[in-house]
Amino acid sequence: MLTIAPGDTVHTTTVDAGGTDEKGVTRVLGGNPETGPFYVETAAPGDTLAVHLTRVRLNRDWAESDDFLVGRAVDSELAVKMKDGGKTVRWHLDAGQGVATPEKPAEHLTRYVVPLRPMLGCVAVAPNVAQAAPGTGDSGHYGGNMDFNEIVEGATVYLPVSVPGALLYVGDGHAAQGDGELNGNALETSMDVEFTVDVIQGKRMPGPRVESATHIMAMGLAGSLDDAFRGATANMAQWLTEEYKLTPSEVAQVLGTSAEYKVSEVADRNTGMVLKINKEKLKPLASAVK
Amino acid sequence: MLTIAPGDTVHTTTVDAGGTDEKGVTRVLGGNPETGPFYVETAAPGDTLAVHLTRVRLNRDWAESDDFLVGRAVDSELAVKMKDGGKTVRWHLDAGQGVATPEKPAEHLTRYVVPLRPMLGCVAVAPNVAQAAPGTGDSGHYGGNMDFNEIVEGATVYLPVSVPGALLYVGDGHAAQGDGELNGNALETSMDVEFTVDVIQGKRMPGPRVESATHIMAMGLAGSLDDAFRGATANMAQWLTEEYKLTPSEVAQVLGTSAEYKVSEVADRNTGMVLKINKEKLKPLASAVK
Amino acid sequence: MLTIAPGDTVHTTTVDAGGTDEKGVTRVLGGNPETGPFYVETAAPGDTLAVHLTRVRLNRDWAESDDFLVGRAVDSELAVKMKDGGKTVRWHLDAGQGVATPEKPAEHLTRYVVPLRPMLGCVAVAPNVAQAAPGTGDSGHYGGNMDFNEIVEGATVYLPVSVPGALLYVGDGHAAQGDGELNGNALETSMDVEFTVDVIQGKRMPGPRVESATHIMAMGLAGSLDDAFRGATANMAQWLTEEYKLTPSEVAQVLGTSAEYKVSEVADRNTGMVLKINKEKLKPLASAVK
Amino acid sequence: MLTIAPGDTVHTTTVDAGGTDEKGVTRVLGGNPETGPFYVETAAPGDTLAVHLTRVRLNRDWAESDDFLVGRAVDSELAVKMKDGGKTVRWHLDAGQGVATPEKPAEHLTRYVVPLRPMLGCVAVAPNVAQAAPGTGDSGHYGGNMDFNEIVEGATVYLPVSVPGALLYVGDGHAAQGDGELNGNALETSMDVEFTVDVIQGKRMPGPRVESATHIMAMGLAGSLDDAFRGATANMAQWLTEEYKLTPSEVAQVLGTSAEYKVSEVADRNTGMVLKINKEKLKPLASAVK
């Protein structure tokens, strides 16, 4: 366990979801092994940990995925069509060109190109002392395996602190991922990661939140997309209430006109739904407060 | 019933969801009254109707919405907080500035501004002769009240033809709408509409599709977001199979790396989920085919 | 349209879901054709119609079903195993012995026997004047294609009246049906039906209710089992509040200790969930009221 | 850890969900504390553990529950009505009369009586070595906090063995519980428990199964009732395939005519749905096999 302080710049690396590092050496058992925990000085239960991802970069030139579609994505007809899926697909990562291509492309994919957008599938703190440690494939209020493709370099992830020191973990790098992580895997690869943390004292959140240059984003994580949708909406409603001092009526008007929902993932026990609001829309609200 | 031919430029207007026109005159009973039907020459069961929206513009300077959050968007705690919602909110539409603002803004919304993005909530064909005519609040393979905020000027809506002449309807204009139509209403207003149609003979689709300058979009419409998600995925999988000749394995690889899911609406009997793919990603596939 | 009065004994017959009568003659197009409407004297919007099924009996010795499992019942693995389903299975109905048996049983079903329990899949009133007439496969607050296997001889079905005369329909007889109507069909057959009706004036219900000798039963009908579950619970909570004068706290205590939930069907657009309470449990409550 | 052998009669006690024993002494931290683990000789990964509950009896005369309705049970309107719930309700347990009554009944519940039906909310084995130990409120293929009110004296619970010795736990006794465990709690009490175990070597099951004198029961445990429904159906389909040698077509016919679905619980992370089949229906199938 490494101890870090708010404001420290932390450099680290993550192995891929199968435990393999940048040199192709398997370093640890697969299943989303994570780097950490980092004990964050001053972080205490009831605080919020802000993790600023200052660098999320590839450190090798290949990734692995597959040609499966997860059960949640297929109806009974599509399940039959997709029944032979599951073969490993290896991708070449060209950081210079900023693209990924299948190493041995199938007939119609010889010219198919995926823009690289390196992301971390897992950013987590310890849930709490009473609860059993969750598996690295799971997610919840503590973050975890969120597989959200906007957790990229430049983003800030906010997580509620439940134990002293927060106990931060990062891992499960994806070179690129479509919404939903439909293959069960994305372009799984190792990663160079740099981050700093802040501790927002006395601030509690109902679940993970993410902020980019352009958007604030509230996550809902639940066993169905319908419940995750409600979770994301409640998370954002609380954000607007607490940070922007909106009344319930005002929350409804802002959400009705500015909500952007996207699916983060459907591949694990929890699905994820994200409610995004463009920060341009919120600027006038913040001014009004002051 | 007006008869139109493929290629004709059709100019029309739509009243708002309450039946009120551009002059504020209530012309018809509320509940998403629609303009139509338009009988499309040559359209026959088994074809696809392509509706090119060449103009979707405001024709008055006000809209009405409310401050309610629909049941599907709230968990049991948020339901209690939102229990007093439901008041009508009137918005001023400034087409010159391209923005909407509440006419009598609540305390924290005095500077809140919503960019105008006029859209049609309803684009429909007749479902089929055997089935009872659906209500104007419903949706399905025939389109209908999809409340999808990318059905805007410049978009093309594809619907499967089930009866001779297709019987096209349009209506339910929204000056702007967040994803989900969380208020049950959006900024409901009357609209000037212009469109042309094409008939794609012998082509069947499993459900509505939309195309913009940048994306192809497959809709899933079902009684839960989970089922709508599967519906959208199956609709897009069929699109990739038929138009781009992809094998099941290739479909999985493309979806896993390029899928973008957003929620269209949760306010009506059917929820809507949309799977979008950026057309840039698909260009190399199309080339490979030829 | 036949006019009937409360208290009248009405004898009628229903064809099977395919439109075939007791003599094997196809009398009408398939798709759950119904017998009716019966205009009920004195029934007015805002009332409740009580339909007492005094006789629901077989009138022929065969039924048809199939060996399909509907999409909602299968996960992606079971979908693949069941992919060849859909063949018609014809059943012999032996009213004397009270059993159904496959006419040409498959290898392991040569001794498989299903107890007859004749039921009506459809009991409906007109929804309302504004709404389009629903299809005969649909369901809602007006009843309709509920496919609930406790709508049998001796049961009373309560439906909210929305139009003058209620406009009662009955149909879709099943000789027997497992919970869920998993084959999409049950043992579809024609039926002899006898009923009387009562009009409960000024009483509104949120959705269909059924009463047997032993239980009161509140239905939830929605696009997912999760929503149908909430619908059934809300329907029963209102029943306990209005009929037994329970407070919210008392409703919670009674439901927590006495609720029995079963799935009525998953084969149509709406799923159905039923919350049953044993009338023995409620007798002391009723006494307390008086 | 106690070591037991197949065939041993094991006597034990369980504290209530809050950690309180039969004398009212709090013995352990609350949150479904369990008795165990019992290491079962000869049980190995890939086997099935059969737990025969030969005695599940009350050992004190009180239980605690509350007047809350869990979020999954309420729609947005019922949530508002139920917003003040959550008070503890203490019940008197009269084992002689076989009934429970509220100690301080609310106005309309002075004569309300609940038949005792002592059950175990939790029966679990260790999930596997790789996976983190689940919390005692969770459930899965390993059983766990199933809160199914037919896990009573006389029932057999079948669980897949994942680690050497199985590591059996029991706990969370309920004096009585309605379907769904709608209050989040049932009538929580301590219990005298006696059981024997069998090890069925080399037999794997996809999830928990229960057998009573009259029924076989397959559970589905998932984050939505819709997914749990599919899980229960798949679990039972596999049971019929493996034990009764039915073909897919035969499975569909038996399920379509004999399925009985009930909701076990909606109070925890996983909901539970149970597919029951009356053993009378299956007897002729078993004979056919031999």
Q: H helices within chain A, ranges in order?
A: 76-81, 225-244, 248-258, 279-289
User: What is the C-alpha separation between C230 and D242, in angstroms, rounded?
Assistant: 35
Nearest CB partner across the interface for D85, out of C111, C252, C259: C252
Mean pLDDT, rounded, of chain A: 96
| Token pair listed for D184 | 């989040």
Token digits for B116? Answer: 């105008």
| Backbone angle region of C223, left / alpha / beta, with phi > 0 → left and psi within -120 to 50 → alpha | alpha
| Per-residue model confidence as pLDDT tens digits over C78-90 | 999 999 999 999 9
A83 → closest Cβ in C74, C80, C226: C80
Exposed, middle or buried, B39 (CB in 10 Å: 0-12/13-18/19+)?
middle
Q: What tokens does C79 get?
A: 């979908």
C-D CB pairs within 8 A amount to 260
Residues B171 and B32 sit within 8 Å (Cβ to Cβ)? yes
Q: Do D80 and B75 touch (CB under 8 A)?
A: no
Q: Identify all chain C residues contacting D178, using CB atoms and an 8 Å cutoff.
A: 255-260
Residue A288 has pLDDT above 80, yes or no: no
Contact A248 B289 (CB under 8 A): no
Per-residue pLDDT of chain B (290 residues; tens, 9 = 90+): 899 999 999 999 999 999 999 999 999 888 889 999 999 999 999 999 999 999 999 999 999 999 999 999 999 999 999 999 999 999 999 999 999 999 999 999 999 999 999 999 999 999 987 667 888 999 999 999 999 999 999 999 999 999 999 999 999 999 999 999 999 999 999 999 999 999 999 999 999 999 999 999 999 999 999 999 999 999 999 999 999 999 999 999 999 999 999 999 999 999 999 999 999 999 998 765 54
pLDDT computed for residue C223 by the predictor? 98
Asked whether the beta carbons of D199 and D161 are under 8 A apart, the reply is yes
DSSP label of D20? B
The predicted-structure confidence for C219-268, as pLDDT tens digits, reads as follows 999 999 999 999 999 999 999 999 999 999 999 999 999 999 999 999 99
* CA–CA separation, A68 and A91 (whole Å): 15
β-pairing, B156-160 vs C34-40, is unpaired
Q: How far apart are CA D225 and CA D270, in angstroms?
A: 9
Output the six-digit token pair for D114.
């609940």
CB contact under 8 A, D134 and A131: no
Beta carbons within 8 Å of D22's beta carbon, 6+ residues apart: D13, D59, D60, D190, D192
Radius of gyration of chain B (CA): 19
Nearest residue in A to D227, CA atom: A224
Q: Is C78 helix (H, G, I), strand (E, B) or coil?
A: helix
For residues B15 and B23, give the distance between their C-alpha atoms in angstroms, rounded to a whole number: 10
Question: Residue C236 in 3-state DSSP?
Answer: helix
Burial label for B42, CB within 10 Å (0-12, 13-18, 19+), is middle
Q: Do D134 and A132 touch (CB under 8 A)?
A: yes
For B140, name the nearest residue in chain C, comparing CA atoms only: C269
Q: Which two tokens stand for residue D17?
A: 């969900």
Which of D67, D249, D259 is the closest to C67 by Cβ?
Answer: D249
Supply angle C-alpha C217, D88, A127, rounded to 5.
100
**Residues in chain D whose Cβ is within 8 Å of chain A:** 29, 31, 130-135, 222-224, 226-227, 269-271
The mean pLDDT value for A74-102 works out to 97
**B53 closest CA partner among B138, B142, B173, B133:** B173
In sequence order, the β-bridge partners of residue B200 are B48
Q: Bridge partners of D228?
A: none
* Residue D14 C-alpha, separation from nearest chain C C-alpha, in angstroms: 21
Residue C130 has pLDDT above 80, yes or no: no
Neighbours of chain D (3+ CB pairs under 8 A): A, B, C
Contacts of B262 in chain A (CB under 8 A): 260-263
Query: β-strands C271-278, C260-265: how paired?
Result: antiparallel
DSSP string, A2-28: EEE-TT--EEEEE--TTSB-TTS-B-S
Which of A75, A226, A269, A270 to probe the D interface (max D CBs under 10 A)? A269
Per DSSP, C134 falls in state P
**A101-132 b/e (C-beta count within 10 Å ≥ 16 → b):** bbeebeebbeebbbebbbbbbbbbbbbeeebe
Neighbors of chain C with 3 or more C-beta pairs under 8 Å: A, B, D
Per CB-CB distance under 8 Å, the chain B contacts of C34 are none
> How far is the C-alpha of B253 from the C-alpha of A66, rounded, in Å?
7
Determine the residue of chain C that is closest to B132 in CA distance: C135
SS3 B91: strand
**Chain D CA closest to residue A134:** D132
Gyration radius of chain D over CA positions = 19
For residue D71, list chain B residues with Cβ-Cβ distance below 8 A: 75-77
ipTM for this prediction: 0.97
Cβ <8 Å between B74 and A229: no
β-pairing, A271-278 vs A215-222, is antiparallel
% residues pLDDT > 90 (chain D): 93
Query: Which of D269, D270, D273 to mutate against chain A (most A CBs within 10 Å)?
Result: D269
Parallel/antiparallel/unpaired status of strands D34-40 and D2-4: parallel
Instruction: State yes or no: pLDDT of A79 exceeds 70.
Output: yes
Which stretches does DSSP call E strand in chain B? 2-4, 10-14, 34-40, 48-58, 62-66, 88-94, 99-102, 114-115, 119-124, 139-140, 143-145, 156-160, 168-174, 191-200, 209-211, 215-222, 260-265, 271-278
Per the rule left: phi > 0, alpha: psi between -120 and 50, beta: everything else, B238 is: alpha
d(CA B232, CA B251): 14
- On average, the pLDDT of chain C sits at 96
CA dist., res. C195 & res. B282, Å (int): 62
- Residue count of chain C, please give it: 290
Interface of B with D (CB under 8 A): 71, 74-77, 79-80, 82-83, 224, 226-227
- HSE toward the beta carbon, residue A5, CA cutoff 13 A: 0
pTM above 0.95, yes or no: yes
pLDDT, one tens digit per residue, over A197-247 is 999 999 999 999 999 999 999 999 999 999 999 999 999 999 999 999 999
Quick count: other Cβ atoms within 10 Å of Cβ B203? 15
Rounded Cα–Cα distance for residues A206 and A221 (Å): 11
Mean pLDDT, to the nearest integer, of C49-71?
Answer: 98
Q: Do D71 and B74 touch (CB under 8 A)?
A: no
Q: In sequence order, which residues have a C-beta less than 8 Å from that of residue C69 and are 6 or more positions away?
A: C78, C82, C85, C182, C183, D233, D251, D252, D255, D256
Strand order in the sheet with D2-4: D2-4, D34-40, D168-174, D119-124, D143-145, D139-140
Contact D80 B79 (CB under 8 A): yes
Write down the mean pLDDT value for chain D: 96
- C69: helix, strand or coil: coil
User: What is the pLDDT, as a whole number, of residue D31?
Assistant: 87
Closest chain B residue by Cα to residue C33: B130
Kindly calculate the radius of gyration of chain C based on its CA atoms and give it in whole angstroms.
19
Using a CB-CB distance cutoff of 8 angstroms, which residues of chain A are in contact with residue D134?
Answer: 132
Contact A133 D131 (CB under 8 A): no
Residue B36's closest CA among B55, B62, B15?
B15
DSSP annotation of B134 reads P
* pLDDT computed for residue C134 by the predictor: 87
What is the average per-residue pLDDT within D150-174?
97
Token duo for residue B257: 């790396």
- Interface contact flag, D133 A131, Cβ < 8 Å: no
Contact C223 B133 (CB under 8 A): no
Report strand pairing: A2-4 vs A34-40.
parallel
Nearest CA in chain A to D30: A130
Q: Which residues of A touch B85 (CB under 8 A)?
A: 248-249, 252
Residue B107 is given by DSSP the state G
Nearest CA in chain D to C265: D261
Q: Choose, out of A74, A76, A80, the residue to mutate when testing the contact with C (most C CBs < 10 Å).
A: A76
**pLDDT on residue A128:** 83
State how far the alpha carbon of C194 is from the alpha carbons of B94, B157, C38, C41, C210, in Å: 64, 50, 13, 18, 17
Return the residue of D nearest to A223 by Cα.
D223
Tokens 């005002």 map to which residue?
A250
Q: For residue A90, what are the β-bridge partners? A: A64
The reply to whether residue B135 touches residue C133, judged by beta carbons under 8 angstroms, is no
D290 pLDDT exceeds 50? no
Confidence of residue C290 (pLDDT cuts 50, 70, 90): very low
pLDDT at B130 (0 to 100):
67
Pairing between β-strand A215-222 and β-strand A88-94 as defined by DSSP bridges: unpaired
Position C162: which residue type?
Answer: S
Distance CA B56, CA B199 (A): 21
Three-state DSSP at B271 gives strand
- Measure CA A245 to chain center: 27
Residue of D nearest to C283 (CA): D112
- Looking at CA atoms only, how far is residue D101 from chain C in angstroms? 11
Q: What is the pLDDT of residue A130?
A: 67
SS3 B82: coil
State both tokens at D193.
């428990």
State the first-to-last Cα distance of chain A, in angstroms, to the nearest integer: 41
Cβ–Cβ below 8 Å for C132 and B130 = no
Partners of C56 in the beta sheet? Answer: C193
pLDDT of D76 over the 70 cut: yes
